């Protein structure tokens, strides 16, 4: 649908059509995830609720974990599950963090507000198992859900929210209002009120959380806008924010850095400090 702005909102959120070989990525993600799960120590399908997808995986480092790193999957709240993304835990795990990957019910079985609350419960359950600081990241819709955890109406309990000190939203969706003009909304069922409530940029961030909006420089203009919007909106409200456009990365490969312990994306997520790191030329 095109609105008065002249933007074609169907095209604006279409990623795969602009990525050469985009149709091959899901199979590659699944194969990498399976190989990773077979090679590391962890617990799978830990229940945090009664619904079938209310489960999370927890990968454990050797020795005492430095804290809990949470990676939330994307898929426009409509597709994929935690099992496709296990390999993204590799970088944080190598850095000594326990890594949780929450599952959640997909639309239309759940509205986005309900998914937000599910992810909050998953993080609470994982945090009960792993002491120390909590770091949050997610990709696309997962970036939205990670950002919702540090909004002033967070579903997290005060004690758990106080442990969150860093957020990296990767190609996140932070303003959901345009999605009402996309055909996906036939399934998402966003109304005006929920689109506003579930838009992180329309909330104040929790104090004391360092925020990075990370996006591929070759992503669709709307995703570049969404990332810049979070950094600006929350920066104006006093949060420590930064915007990183990863050179030559698009929506499907921008997450690859999480697999490498010394990649700038992993260091932004779980590194000892958040000073800007040189981006690789690749």
Domain of 160, CATH number, reads: 3.40.50.1820
Is residue 280 domain-resident?
Answer: no
- pTM listed for this prediction: 0.95
- CB within 8 Å of 76: residues ≥ 6 apart: 13, 140, 141, 184, 188
Is residue 64 domain-resident?
Answer: yes
Is the pLDDT higher at 272 or at 230? 230
Q: Is the pLDDT of residue 81 over 80?
A: yes
User: Within its chain, how far is the Cα of 159 from the centroid?
Assistant: 22
Residue 16 pLDDT: 87
Residue 281 pLDDT: 62
User: Total structural domains in the chain?
Assistant: 1
**Where residue 280 falls among pLDDT bands split at 50, 70, 90?**
low
Residue 143 pLDDT: 98
Q: Is the pLDDT of residue 4 over 60?
A: no
What tokens were used for 156?
């997290």
Is residue 2 domain-resident?
Answer: no
Cα 276 to Cα 241: distance, rounded to the nearest angstrom: 11
Running DSSP on this structure, what letter comes out for residue 8?
B
Q: Whole domain around residue 234: which residue ranges?
A: 9-270
First-to-last C-alpha distance (Å) of the chain: 35
Residue 37: strand, helix, or coil: helix
For strands 68-72 and 42-47, give the pairing: unpaired
Q: What percent of the chain has pLDDT over 70?
A: 95
Is the pLDDT higher at 7 or at 130? 130
Is residue 55 domain-resident?
Answer: yes
Is residue 282 domain-resident?
Answer: no
Is residue 277 domain-resident?
Answer: no
Name the packing angle between helices 112-129 and 141-148 (round to 10°).
Answer: 70
Residue 100: strand, helix, or coil: strand
List the beta bridge partners of residue 211. 167, 241
Is residue 134 domain-resident?
Answer: yes
Is residue 264 domain-resident?
Answer: yes
Tell me what the mean pLDDT of segment 228-238 comes to.
Answer: 97
Please state which of the ranges 13-22, 128-137, 249-258 shows the lowest mean pLDDT: 13-22
What tokens were used for 263?
């990649």
Residue 75 pLDDT: 96
**Where residue 35 falls among pLDDT bands split at 50, 70, 90?**
very high
Residue 272 pLDDT: 87
- CB within 8 Å of 123: residues ≥ 6 apart: 70, 100, 102, 134, 136, 149, 156, 160
């Amino acid at each position: 649908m095109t609105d008065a702005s002249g933007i074609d909102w169907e095209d604006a959120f279409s990623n795969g059509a602009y990525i050469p070989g985009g149709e091959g990525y899901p199979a590659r993600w699944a194969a990498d995830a399976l190989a990773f799960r077979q090679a590391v120590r962890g617990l799978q399908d830990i229940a945090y609720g009664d619904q079938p997808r209310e489960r999370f995986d927890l990968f454990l480092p050797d020795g005492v974990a430095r804290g809990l790193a949470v990676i939330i999957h994307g898929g426009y709240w409509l597709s994929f599950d935690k099992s496709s993304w296990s390999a993204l835990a590799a970088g944080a795990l190598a850095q000594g963090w326990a890594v949780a990957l929450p599952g959640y019910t997909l639309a239309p079985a759940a509205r986005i507000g309900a998914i937000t609350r599910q992810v909050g419960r998953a993080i609470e359950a994982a945090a009960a198992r792993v002491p120390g600081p909590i770091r949050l990241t997610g990709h696309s819709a997962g970036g939205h859900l990670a950002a919702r955890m540090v909004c002033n109406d967070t579903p997290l309990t005060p004690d758990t929210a106080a442990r969150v000190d860093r957020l990296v939203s990767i190609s996140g969706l932070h303003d959901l209002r345009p999605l009402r003009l996309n055909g996906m909304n036939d399934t998402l069922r966003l109304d005006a009120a929920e689109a506003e409530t579930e838009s992180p940029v329309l909330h104040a961030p929790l104090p004391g959380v360092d925020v990075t909006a990370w996006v591929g420089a070759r992503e669709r203009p709307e995703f570049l806008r969404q990332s810049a919007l979070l950094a600006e909106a929350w920066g104006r409200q006093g949060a420590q924010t930064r915007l990183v456009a990863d050179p030559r990365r698009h929506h499907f490969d921008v997450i690859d850095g999480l697999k490498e312990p010394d990649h700038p994306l992993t260091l932004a997520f779980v590194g000892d400090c958040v000073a800007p790191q040189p981006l690789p030329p690749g």
